[in-house]
Amino acid sequence: MTPAPISRRRAIVLGGFGAASLAIGATGWFATGAGVRTGGRLQPADTGAELRQPKVLDSADGRLQVELTAAAGVRLAGHDTRALGYNATSPGPTLRVRPGDELAVRLTNQLDEPTNLHTHGLRVSPQANSDNPFLRVDPGASFDYLFRIPPDHPAGTYWYHPHHHGMVAGQIFGGLAGALLVAPPGQDPDLPVLEDRVLLVTDTTLDGDGRLAEIGAMDRAMGRQGELVLVNGQHEPTIPADPGATQRWRVINGCVSRVLSIRLDGHELVHVAQDGTFLPAPIAADRVMLAPGNRADVIVRPTGTGRYPLIAEAVNRGGMDEMMGGGTASSGPVILATMVTAGAPVTAPPLPTALPAETPAVGPVTTRREIAFQMGMGMGGMDFAIDGRIFDPDRDDQNVTLGDTEEWTITNPGPLAHPFHLHVWPFTVVELSDATPPVGVPQDVVLVPARGWVRLRIPFTNYSGRSVYHCHILDHEDAGMMATVNVRA
Ligand code: C2O
Ligand code: CU
Ligand code: CU
């Protein structure tokens, strides 16, 4: 449970606001029932095995039709576990479509609670049976989703996960996530890479019997961080590489609340795309930071021969993290994977100096809004709210006119950074209070610094309808740190 004494929790000075308190210590969904608790943790049995790719389901003739069944019982870290998966795997299959395609998904719920499906980052309609976060698929039921990918959709790295309010953190922590790739419209690859890999990072905590551990109130308050950090469901896999031969790694942060600051020992990471869209030019960096939900595509140019760990370094999310001793359960650094280079050097074609970045369709700003993420002590526990209110799916929090470009300033008066995420309409970060340089291309998650703010430009183009924005620390989203936006023509 929590190592933090109550007095320290109470000592956190946070602004009060009008919302009713939300008790977050409610019964965890992953109660282990009458089973005997061993008290121990599952020890990974596959450390160092070669990185596998999830099964790829590829579109053909403009369509991809798949069935995804959410159920308990998957192989993780070399064990048969009671964690959750799609089609008995975690991550689920990689869905690969092209601009202009139709993606039809029959989602079958074999969990014992409701679920649904969200195509994170995809620019598709939020209405009806498309990327509609208000839908609910009950246990035993199936639902037919249809996502129409627009012909001008950027080619890049996206992902899918459940989004039934109140159960999102538990289900993703349980293992429900998969990659969703939009391939380039033509046949030619965008980059001269010899290997193109998905690295879907998730974290979870499993007991010695392979059951999901119970999550305490403090873990929910800080955002749960699993003790087991996995890449494609594997523990510290090995990534083989030929010296000189470039690889594209599509890193997806599928963790419920863990921020990943990744570094590859002895190598630069060449950042080429963020949240599914290319940067204007490759940026060689020592570290690339991914908030929960973010994707970063990086090019790796292996040099020499040897073993080079890919490390997620410890990240300080603000004063509250420090007070809690670096966050809950385990924080960094953790080894995600190890690149092993061997063999004769290969000569790879040089990287392009310019990338097919999109020019964001940003018109003159018509409306400015200020939106506040709020976390504080309430009467019955911690409160998680936006602008003083917890999530209500029936309330319209922001009314927007289709076609307008708006400027939103997201404020965070509290001592913990929160990742802001908006569905359907990607935004461009204009400025951050901590002077982090913005990536300059449309993105869909940005970390709002503790006691700080971010300013965003959002073109509300292409789709009308209602959707949501929220904190992508999914425990916070489940507790109410989510709100609605209604875009009307
Ligand atoms: Cu990845 Cu609304 O979420
Ligand atoms: Cu999303
Ligand atoms: Cu949050």
- 421 in contact with ligand 1, CB cutoff 6 A: yes
187 vs 36, more confident: 187
Task: Look up the domain containing 304 and give its range.
Answer: 195-341
> How many C-alpha atoms does 487 have within 13 Å on its Cβ side?
23
444 part of a folded domain: no
> Where is average pLDDT lowest: 175-179, 230-234, 374-378, 392-396?
374-378
Chain centroid to Cα 220, Å, comes to 17
48 part of a folded domain: no
Which atom of ligand 1 lies nearest, measured to the CA of 468?
2
Q: Which ligand is nearest to the CA of 447?
A: 3
If you search the block for the tokens 């798949």, which residue do you land on?
66
Number of domains in the chain: 1
19 part of a folded domain: no
326 part of a folded domain: yes
- 258 in contact with ligand 1, CB cutoff 6 A: no
Prediction pTM value:
0.92
Give the angle 446-161-51 at the CA atoms, nearest 5°: 90
Taking residues 373-394, report their average pLDDT.
Answer: 91
Q: CA dihedral defined by 74, 80, 83, 86, rounded to 10 degrees?
A: 0
The per-residue pLDDT for range 285-327, each reduced to its tens digit, is 999 999 999 999 999 999 889 999 999 998 989 988 888 765 5
Closest residue to atom 1 of ligand 1, CA basis: 120
Supply the CATH number for residue 214's domain.
2.60.40.420
The residues with which 263 forms a beta bridge, in sequence order, are 311
The residues with which 181 forms a beta bridge, in sequence order, are 96, 157
- 163 in contact with ligand 1, CB cutoff 6 A: yes
> Where is average pLDDT lowest: 28-37, 244-253, 397-406?
28-37
Taking residues 446-451, report their average pLDDT.
Answer: 97
Give the pLDDT of residue 325.
66
407 part of a folded domain: no
272 part of a folded domain: yes
294 part of a folded domain: yes
Band the pLDDT of 349: cuts 50, 70, 90.
Answer: confident
286 part of a folded domain: yes
